[in-house]
Amino acid sequence: MTYFRHAVFATALVAGAASVHAQTTVITREPVETRTVVTREPLQLTPVQRRTVYRTIVRERIEPARPTVEYRVGTRIPESVPLYSVPQEVAVEVPSIRSYKYMVVNDRVVLIDPVTSEVVAELAD
């Protein structure tokens, strides 16, 4: 009887060990590519800042963009449209627009976020 108990115990032990090995599963995954998303607060300019930016940029006498598309806040600008850096004179007066680019369309200054190519503000006199 003791022999029979040992045989049952040994069989159970071997069967349990085999089932543990059979259930081991290794899952590998490809690394997930992470992208950094930079979000900015909406551009808030006072009326005096808007006038300063507009008047300074208009004096630059850059070539106006052709109005093939209606540019509104939130729209994307095609890559083919030439953009200009904000003049240092304006960046000193209104530091919040230092990182933006601009273009002139129909006597309006259009400020563009160079990271997203979106219009962030439209300025007129």
**Residues 72-110: pLDDT tens digits?**
888 898 888 888 898 888 888 888 888 999 888 888 888
Q: Which residues contact 64 (CB under 8 A, 6 or more apart)?
A: 103, 104, 105, 106, 107
15 part of a folded domain: no
- The span from the CA of 109 to the CA of 102, in Å, is 7
Q: How many domains does one find in the chain?
A: 1
Cα separations in angstroms, 101 against 13, 30, 116 = 74, 38, 11
Domain assignment present for 52: yes
> What pLDDT score does 124 carry?
82
Do the domain assignments include residue 70? yes
Mean pLDDT of 34-53: 70
List the alpha helices (DSSP H) in the chain.
Answer: 2-23, 47-58, 88-93
Domain that holds residue 70: 47-123
Alpha-helical regions (H) of 24-67 = 47-58
pTM score of the predicted model: 0.60
